[in-house]
Structure 1
Amino acid sequence: MRSPKLAALELRRFGRGRLPRAALVAVLLLPLLYGALYLWSFWDPYSRLDRLPVALVNEDRGATAGGERVRAGDDIVAGLRDSAVFDWREVSAEDARAGVEDGRYYLSLTLPGDFSHRIASSEGDTPETGALRVRTNDANNYIVGQISRTVFGEVRTAASTKASRAFLDKIFISFSDIHGETVKAADGADELKGGLGKAEKGSQDLADGLKDAKEGSGDLSSGLRKLSTGASDLEEGSAKVAEGTRALADRVNGIAGTVGPFLAANERGIGDTARSVADAAGTIRENLGTLEKRAPGAATQAREAHDRLAGTYRTRCETPAPGDGAEPADGPDPVCAELKPAVAAAAEVADLADGLDTLVSDRADELERLDGHLADLERQAGALAGHAPRLSEDLDDAVTRINALDKGAGEVAAGAEKLHRGLGTAETGAVDLDTGVGDLKSGADDLSGGMFKLVDGSGDLAGGLHDGAARIPDYDRAEREDRTRVMADPVRLASESLYKAPNYGTGFAPYFIPLSLWVGAMVAYMVIAPLNRRALAAGGSAWRIALAGWLPVLAIGAAQVTALMTVLHWLVGLEPARTAGTVGFLFLVTGCFAAIVQWLNARFGAAGRILVLAVLMLQLTSAGGTYPVQTSPGFFAAIHPFLPMSYVVEALRRLITGGGLGPVWQACAVLAAFTLGALALTALSARRKQVWTLDRLHPELSL
C-alpha cells in the first residue's frame, strides 16, 4: 500500500467517534494557544499604557527669572496629562510612596519643590540641574519599570529641551544685543579714528607751534635779558634825570623867588629896554654897511691922529730942556700928564680902528652872520618886548612846568626802578618759560608720535570691530526660534526603518508562529504514531513507512497553518508584507518540524517526547527571536547556526515585515535539508523497528 493511502487511512481514523474528532480539533487549534492567543495578549501593549495607574506628585513652588514667573512643574504636569502615556493620578508624596509600596501604583514621578528654581538658575551665576524623582517597584512589574525609564527619559529630554530653549533664546538675544553694541562700538571707533586723525594733525601742529614757541621763548628770554640790562641803564639814567630836574627845579624856584618880584616890578622897563635893544640892533644893522665903507679911512685917520698926538707928546714931554736935562724948577707939565693917557687912548683907538678895518675887510662873512644874529636879536628883542608885560606870568608858568617835570622825572625814575625789577622777574620767568616750552615741545613730539600710533591702532580697532560685528550673529525672532530649537535638541535620531513592524505583536510574530507550529507537530505525534504500525507489520519499505507517518501530520500542520494565519490576519490584525509567501513558507516549516518531531519519536520512543521539548527549548533560546543572539551567552550563539528555528525566524521577519528574500531562500534550503535528513533518519529507525527485540517487547519506559 502506498504512503499517501496509508496517511489517508490514518487520518480517517479520527472520524470514527466523537473523541477522535475532538482530539483532531484540539490538535488543529492548539497552535492558536501558542501563536494567535499569545500574540493577541500583547499585540500592542504600548497603546494601552494609559491604563496603568501612576502617581504624580507636583511639589514645585515655582520661581522668578528675568522678571517672569517660571512654573516648570506645572508645565510638565500639563504636558504629561496631554500625552496620556500613563493613567496619571496627582497625589501627595506620602500617598505616592505607600501606593508604589503596596502595588496601587506601578510607579511614581515627583517634581521637587525647587524644580523651577533649579531650572531658572541657568540664568544666574550658579546654575543647578533640576531633578525629576522616579520611584519604581519591580516587585509590582519589572517591565513597567523598564518602560517607565524610557518614558521618563523622554520626559526629562523634553523638560531639558524646553529649559535649554529658554536659556539659548536669551543667549541669542544677547548675541543680537552684542552685535548691535559692537556695531555701535565700530561706528564709535570710526569716529574715534577720525577724531584721532584730527588730534594727530593737531598734535603735529602743536609740536610745530611749540617749536616756533621755543624759538620765540628763546628770543623772548634774550630780549628780556637785553631789556633788563636797558632797564638797569634806564633806571640809572632816570635817577640822574630826576636828580637833575630836582636841582633844576630848586634853582628855578630860587631864581623865580629872586627874579619874580623884579620882573613884576620892571616888566615895563624890560619891555622898553627890549624895544631899545631891538631898535639898536636894527640901527646897527643899518650902520654895518657904513662901517664897511668908512672903516679903512677911519683907521688911517686914527692912526694919523695917534701919530700926531704921539709926536706932540714926545716933543713936549719927552724931549729934555737945554742944560743938564733936569726937570723945570716949577715941576711936571700938567699938559703932559693929560696928554699921556690921551696918547695911550689914541693908540688904542688906532689899534681898534686897525682891528676894525682888518675885521671888516677880513671878516666879511662873519659880518654877514652878525647881521643875521642882529636880525635874530632884533626879532627876539621885539618878541621880548611883546612878552615883557607877561614875563612874571610866564615865569610862574615855567616854574610850574619845571616842578611838574621834576615830579614826572621822579615818577619815571620810580617806574624805571619797578620796570627793572619787573623785567628781572620777567627774565627769570622767560628762562623758565623757555625751559617749559622746550619740555612741552618734547612732550608734543612724543604726543604726536603716540597719536600717530593711536591713529593706526584706532584704524585696526575699527576694522576689528567691524569684522567682529560681521561675525557676531544678529538673529530675528524666526531665526532665534529655529536655532534655539536645534541647539536645545541638537542631536535627533533620524530613525529610518526600511521595513518597520507596525506594532509589538507583528515584531514578535516570526518568533511565536514557529513556536506554535513546533508545538502543533509535537501534539500531533501524541495522537498519531510516528511510524505506521500497519506498514511496519506488512513489512513495507522504510521510506514508505516514514512517509506514511509524516504525511498525516503534514496535512494536520497545513490545517494548523491555515487556521493560525486566518485568526492572526482577520482577528488579531497581522498584515504580512508577503502573505502568500508567508503561508507557503509556513507549510515548509510545518513539514520540517513534523519530520524532526517524527524522527525523535520514532527513534527514541517515549523518551523522544522529552527530547522534542528539549530541542524546542534550545531553539527558543538560540533563535534570536527576542534579543539578538549576540547578546546571549556563548553556548546559545554556538548552537544558533545548527537549529532550524534560527533560519525560520529570520525568514519570517523578511516575509512578514519586508526586506530582501535572501534569508528566505537560505531558510528554504536549510529546512529542506533538515526535512530530508529527518525523513532519512526516520526511515532508518523504521528499518530498525521491523526487527523485534526483547527491548521492544519489554520496554523500560512505556508511555
Structure 2
Amino acid sequence: MSPFKLAATELRRFRGHPIRTAALVAIILIPLVYGGLYLWFAWDPYGELDQMPVAVVNEDTGATVVVNGDTTQINGGDQLVDQLKEDRIFDWQFVTAGEAQRGLEDGDYYMTITVPENFSARLASLSGTDPEQATVEFDLNDANGYVAGIMASTVESELRNQINTAVYVTFATTIFGDLTELNQGLTQAADGAHQLSDGIGSAQTGAAQLESGLGDLTAGANEVADGADQVSDGVDQAVDVAQPVVQTLADNWTQIQTGAASAADLADRANSDLDTVYSTLCGADTADADACAQLQTYIDDADEVNNDIQTANTTVQDTSTDTLDQASNDLTDLKTGAADVATGANQVADAAATAQTGAGDLADGLPELQDGADTLATSLTDAAETVPSTNPADDADNAEAYGSPVTVQEDNLNPAGTYGRGLSPFFIAVALWVFGLMAYFVLRPINARALAGPLRSVPVAIGGWLPSAALGVLSALVLYVVVDLGLGLDPKYVLATIGVSVLVILTFSAMAHLLKLALGTAGSLLIVVLLMLQLTSAGGLYPVETTPAFFQFLHPLLPMSYVVDALRVTISGGEVAHVVRALLVLGAYLVGSLAVSSVVVASRRKWKPDGLNVPLQV
C-alpha cells in the first residue's frame, strides 16, 4: 500500500456523518479564522483615527499687541480651533474643561487638548524683548486603553503641525502686523517694478538712438574741427601778410593823405585844363570835327578818372590813422579768434566722442538693469503670492508646510502600506502553525494497521503526514484568497507568496506530525510551546534587536523567523536571497521532520509493554 492510499484511508474515516465532514472543514478554516479575522480587525486602524473622540478645551482669553503704533487684537486659541475644525485628524469634541476631565476619566474621550488662557499673551510676547514659549496641554488616560494612547502619540507630530499652522498667523501678526497689508504692499511694489522695467525698456531705445545721434554729431564735429583748423591756418597766413601792410599804412597815413590830396587837385586841374583846351580848339567853326570828337572822348575818360580820384581822395581823407591802427589790431584779434574757434571745435569733437562712448555704455547697461527690474518684479510677485492668509481655514491644506518649515524626506524602498499588510507575514505564519496544532486533534498521526503491516516505515510515516499536508495546502490557499480578495493583500509576487505559503504549511504540518507521533499529547503541548517561542522570537512585531537576548538566540533557530522574512519579500518586496534562504531552511525542516518521523515509526514497530498503556491522552 502506498502513502497516498494510506492518506486516502485516513480521510475516508470522516465520511458518513456531517459532523465528521464539518470537522475537516473546520480544520481547513482554522488558519482563515485565526489569521483572517485578526488581519481584518487590525488592517488599517490608523486610517480610522477620525472616529476616535478627542476633547478640545479653549481657555485662551486673547491678547493685544502694538504694531507700528497700532493696537492689534490677537486670539491664537480661536485660530487653533478653526484650524482643527478644518482638518479632523480625530473626532474633535469642543467642550468645557469640566466636561473634558469627566470624559477622559469615564473613557468618553481618549485624549484632551487644552489651550491655556495665556496662550495668546505668550504669543504676543514674541514681539517684545522677553519672549515666552506658548504651550498646549495634552492629557491621556491609559486606563482607557494603552494602545489608544500609543495611536494618539503616533500622530502627535502631525497634530503639532496643525497647531503650528494656526499659531503662525498669530506670530506673523505679532511681528509683521496685518498680513493682508503686507500682501498689498508687495503687490504694489511688484507693479512698480514692472513699470520700472517698462521705463527702462523705453530708455534703452532712447539710449540707442542717442548713441546713434551722438555718432553723427561726433562725425560732424570732427569735420567742423578739421575745417576750423584749416580756417585758422588760412587766417594766420592772411593776417601775417595783411597786418604788416596795414600797420605800415597807418604809420605813413598822413603823408598818404597829403599825396592823395595833391593828386586829387592835380587831376582836377588837368580836367579843367582839358576843358579849356577843348573850348579853345573846337570853339571855332574851322575846327576839325573828327579831332574834336576824339578829344571829347579823351575829356570824358579824364572826367571819369578824375571822379574816381576825387572819390578815392575823399575816402583817404575820411580815413584816420586810428582807423588803420584799429584794423591792424582787428587782424591780430581775428588770428587769435580763429585759433580759439579751431581749439573749441576740437574740444567739441572730443566731447561728442566721449558722449557717444557714454551713450553706448548706457545702452549696454540698460538691458542688465531691465533684467534686474524684471527679476525684482517677479520676486515681489512671488513673495506676494506666498504671503499666507490670516484665516487659518484658508491654509488648512498647507498645514505641514506652515507648521513645520523643515521636514525630513523619507524614502521607503519596499513600502507595506497599511498596518495590517505590514503584519500579514507574521500572522499568516502564525495561522499556518495553528493549523498543525489543530489538525492532529482530529487526524491520526499514523495508521495503526499500516504500522503493524509489512509496509516500510518511510511510506507509513509519509502516509500519516499526507492527510494533514493535503488539508493544509487547501487551508493555505483559502487563507490567501480571502486575505487577498477580501482585505486587499495584493502581494508584489503573487505566485511566490502562494508557493512559500504552501511550503510553510507542508513544513509546519510535518513538524506537528512528528511531535504528535513521537510524544502524543505531550507533543500537542510542545507544539503550543513552540508557537509561543516563535511568536516572541520571529521578529514579526518588533525588531529582534529590541528583544531580550534569549529570544535573539532563538531567532535564527526556529522556522517561523524565516517564514516571516520570506513573506515580507514576496508581499512588499526586497532581497530575493531572503526567500531562497527561507526555502532552504524550510526544506531542511520538512525533510528532517519526515526522516525523524520515519525513525519513530520504525521504533514503534518494536512492541513494548509500556506502549500498551498510554499515560496521558487527549
TM-score range, shorter chain: 0.5 to 0.7
1:683 to 574, 595, 598: 598
Following superposition, the deviation at residue 599 of structure 1 comes to 0.9
1:546 to 438, 461, 468: 461
Q: Which residue of 1 aligns with 2:125?
A: 121
Deviations 1:612-659 (A, max 9, x none): 000011111001111111111111111100011001001101111122
Q: Which residue of 2 aligns with 1:655?
A: 570
Q: Secondary structure, in 3 states, of the residue corresponding to 2:155?
A: helix
Q: Which residue of 1 aligns with 2:157?
A: 153
Q: How does 1:165-244 map to 2 (within 5 A)?
A: 167=171, 170=175
Distance 1:97 1:89 in 2: 12
1:506 to 421, 431, 434: 421
The yes-or-no answer on 1:526 pairing with 2:441 is: yes
Following superposition, the deviation at residue 164 of structure 1 comes to 5.4
Q: Which residue of 2 aligns with 1:298?
A: none
Contact 1:168 1:487 in 2 (8 A): no
Q: How does 1:307-386 map to 2 (within 5 A)?
A: none
Deviations 1:115-143 (A, max 9, x none): 12222222211111111111111011111
Distance 1:89 1:165 in 2: 23
Deviations 1:236-292 (A, max 9, x none): xxxxxxxxxxxxxxxxxxxxxxxxxxxxxxxxxxxxxxxxxxxxxxxxxxxxxxxxx
Distance 1:151 1:119 in 2: 24
Contact 1:539 1:690 in 2 (8 A): no
Tell me the amino acid that sits aligned with residue 2 of structure 1.
Answer: S
The yes-or-no answer on 1:559 pairing with 2:479 is: no
Contact 1:3 1:547 in 2 (8 A): yes
The alignment's TM-score, normalised by the length of structure 2, stands at 0.62
Tell me the amino acid that sits aligned with residue 24 of structure 2.
Answer: L
Following superposition, the deviation at residue 531 of structure 1 comes to 2.0
Distance 1:136 1:539 in 2: 70
1:130 to 105, 113, 134: 134
Q: Secondary structure, in 3 states, of the residue corresponding to 2:539?
A: coil
Q: Which residue of 2 aligns with 1:61?
A: 61
Tell me the amino acid that sits aligned with residue 4 of structure 2.
Answer: P
Q: Which residue of 1 aligns with 2:50?
A: 50
Tell me the amino acid that sits aligned with residue 122 of structure 2.
Answer: R
Q: Which residue of 1 aligns with 2:500?
A: 585
Contact 2:160 2:403 in 1 (8 A): no
1:478 to 382, 403, 425: 382
Contact 1:53 1:86 in 2 (8 A): yes
Cα distance change of structure 1 residues 69 and 155 upon mapping to structure 2, 3 Å threshold: farther
Distance 1:571 1:531 in 2: 37
Tell me the amino acid that sits aligned with residue 478 of structure 1.
Answer: D
Tell me the amino acid that sits aligned with residue 58 of structure 1.
Answer: N
Q: Which residue of 2 aligns with 1:100?
A: 104
Following superposition, the deviation at residue 81 of structure 1 comes to 2.2
Following superposition, the deviation at residue 110 of structure 1 comes to 0.8
Q: Which residue of 2 aligns with 1:599?
A: 514
Cα distance change of structure 1 residues 569 and 642 upon mapping to structure 2, 3 Å threshold: same
Q: Which residue of 2 aligns with 1:39?
A: 39
Deviations 1:677-698 (A, max 9, x none): 1111111111111112222111
Q: How does 1:4-19 map to 2 (within 5 A)?
A: 4-19=4-19
The yes-or-no answer on 1:24 pairing with 2:28 is: no
2:94 to 78, 90, 112: 90
Q: How does 1:686-701 map to 2 (within 5 A)?
A: 686-701=601-616
Deviations 1:140-191 (A, max 9, x none): 11111112223233222443365458757958999x99xx9xxxxxxxxxxx
Deviations 1:578-609 (A, max 9, x none): 11211111000000101111111111111000
Distance 1:128 1:691 in 2: 87
Deviations 1:19-47 (A, max 9, x none): 21010011011111211111101111112
Contact 2:565 2:579 in 1 (8 A): yes
The yes-or-no answer on 1:609 pairing with 2:524 is: yes
Cα distance change of structure 1 residues 32 and 476 upon mapping to structure 2, 3 Å threshold: same
Tell me the amino acid that sits aligned with residue 115 of structure 1.
Answer: F
Distance 1:597 1:110 in 2: 56
Distance 1:477 1:630 in 2: 53
Tell me the amino acid that sits aligned with residue 7 of structure 2.
Answer: A
Tell me the amino acid that sits aligned with residue 137 of structure 2.
Answer: R
The yes-or-no answer on 1:72 pairing with 2:56 is: no
Distance 2:128 2:41 in 1: 52
Give the gaps of 5 or more residues in structure 1.
181-472
Cα distance change of structure 1 residues 159 and 151 upon mapping to structure 2, 3 Å threshold: same
Following superposition, the deviation at residue 676 of structure 1 comes to 0.8
Q: Which residue of 2 aligns with 1:235?
A: none
Q: Which residue of 1 aligns with 2:288?
A: none
Tell me the amino acid that sits aligned with residue 414 of structure 2.
Answer: Y
Distance 1:476 1:133 in 2: 39
Tell me the amino acid that sits aligned with residue 126 of structure 2.
Answer: S
Tell me the amino acid that sits aligned with residue 657 of structure 1.
Answer: S
Distance 1:50 1:164 in 2: 24
Q: Secondary structure, in 3 states, of the residue corresponding to 1:134?
A: strand
Distance 2:100 2:597 in 1: 62
Following superposition, the deviation at residue 673 of structure 1 comes to 0.5
Contact 1:499 1:657 in 2 (8 A): yes
Q: Secondary structure, in 3 states, of the residue corresponding to 2:56?
A: strand
Cα distance change of structure 1 residues 486 and 143 upon mapping to structure 2, 3 Å threshold: closer
Bigger mean CA deviation after superposition, 621-630 or 657-666: 657-666
Following superposition, the deviation at residue 76 of structure 1 comes to 2.0
Cα distance change of structure 1 residues 33 and 621 upon mapping to structure 2, 3 Å threshold: same
Distance 1:18 1:488 in 2: 64
Cα distance change of structure 1 residues 482 and 643 upon mapping to structure 2, 3 Å threshold: farther
Q: Quick one: percent identity of the two aligned structures?
A: 41
Tell me the amino acid that sits aligned with residue 132 of structure 1.
Answer: V
Distance 1:162 1:52 in 2: 22
Distance 2:86 2:170 in 1: 21
Contact 2:123 2:170 in 1 (8 A): no
Q: Secondary structure, in 3 states, of the residue corresponding to 1:110?
A: strand
Q: Secondary structure, in 3 states, of the residue corresponding to 2:117?
A: coil
Contact 2:60 2:115 in 1 (8 A): yes
Distance 1:165 1:78 in 2: 12
Tell me the amino acid that sits aligned with residue 50 of structure 1.
Answer: D
The alignment's TM-score, normalised by the length of structure 1, stands at 0.55
Deviations 1:172-211 (A, max 9, x none): 999x99xx9xxxxxxxxxxxxxxxxxxxxxxxxxxxxxxx
Distance 1:626 1:686 in 2: 38
Q: Secondary structure, in 3 states, of the residue corresponding to 2:573?
A: coil
Q: Which residue of 2 aligns with 1:635?
A: 550
Following superposition, the deviation at residue 486 of structure 1 comes to 7.4
Cα distance change of structure 1 residues 488 and 576 upon mapping to structure 2, 3 Å threshold: closer
Q: Secondary structure, in 3 states, of the residue corresponding to 2:143?
A: coil
Count of aligned residue pairs for this structure pair: 408
Tell me the C-alpha RMSD between the 2 structures: 2.7
Q: Secondary structure, in 3 states, of the residue corresponding to 1:642?
A: coil
Q: Secondary structure, in 3 states, of the residue corresponding to 2:114?
A: strand
Rg larger in 1 or in 2? 1
